[in-house]
Chains A and B, each alone.
Chain A
């Protein structure tokens, strides 16, 4: 009996020693992988003062969701699938003019969806103006986890439906 008690005590002491060593090692490793943080300083000159980016009002956000969910193409893509509305953000030109909204519709899992997926847009969009109807598409099947939707708030229409795979944009 006495021998058993001594054995239990020794095991306890050993366990505490190992635990303590492990904690010490972990804190040493943590200090190794945590560099000193930088500080922010003033930009080189005044022209780097940052701009005011346009934002969506809560009404505009709600309107964007409504337009997206009422779009026939979006309805068709969502049919029979579980989804939630994800991020909602402003769409704007490089001159910081608000042109609409962008939102994510996130599925519960990836779905293989056959559709006329966009390959991109022509030059007008790349120059900073609103995306137009000159969309280049190709019909093929793609695993899609999230749809990126661009909405023209002024004219109440969906400008683009973009597929995203994996966890991008969620």
Chain B
């Protein structure tokens, strides 16, 4: 019975999804952060057209550090029943040798209500490096509700907690939740009816062995 209901929901969702354009949203605390020779923006972006606060998607909430690499981290989430799916968003990064864009679809949990995490590092290496953080990547998190039916997305803070829990339980990685400010606090607010901002501005650090 439950499967039938969700199948019906999925079909309806697909039928109404075609009218939904990708949208950009308005960050209230877009900043560039630096660590050693590296720089990065503290939100991801909807397109590579600009780094304006009107072109953002979600705040950066996750730092995987020490020995992190995109595929390595995703593999852990996939082994915890997350899947490789989603539409691309973009991060603006500088690993000490110039600014570049990276895109990622991310990994998400199953279901019409799901937790979605996008992971970013320059595409040529899938990781960044400095002596303080070692090999590291950055992540944004949010929940999606009926997204293919024009539902709503958001709650970065709660999704960050679920991503941390998976890192901790999946591989026993050391997680320091809400470790440090990334200067991207977002009070609870709803933009355009469907983009829900909510972030305490503190990123979680996951130590990847």
Interface mask (B29-51 → A, CB under 8 Å = 1, otherwise 0): 11111110001000000000011
**Which residues of B, 138-158, contact A by the 8 Å Cβ criterion?**
143, 145-147, 149-152, 155, 158
Count of A-B contacts with CB under 8 A?
Answer: 183
**Which residues of B, 64-112, contact A by the 8 Å Cβ criterion?**
65-66, 99
Contact A120 B150 (CB under 8 A): yes
Contact A35 B53 (CB under 8 A): no
Q: Please give me the residue from chain A that is nearest to B24 by CB atom.
A: A94
**Which residues of B, 161-196, contact A by the 8 Å Cβ criterion?**
161, 174-176, 179-183, 187-194, 196
Contact B16 A136 (CB under 8 A): yes
Q: What is the CA–CA distance of A7 and B165 in the complex, to the nearest angstrom? A: 45
* Interface pick from A9-17, A19-27, A37-45, A69-77: A37-45
Q: What is the CA–CA distance of A102 and B152 in the complex, to the nearest angstrom? A: 13
Contact of B31 among A43, A88, A138, A164 (CB under 8 A): A43
A-binding residues in B (CB < 8 A): 5, 8-9, 12-13, 16, 19-21, 23-35, 39, 50-54, 63, 65-66, 99, 113, 132-133, 143, 145-147, 149-152, 155, 158, 161, 174-176, 179-183, 187-194, 196-198, 205, 207
B-binding residues in A (CB < 8 A): 29, 32-44, 47-51, 53, 55, 87-94, 96, 102, 118-123, 125-131, 136, 138, 140, 148, 150, 159-160, 162, 164-165, 167-170
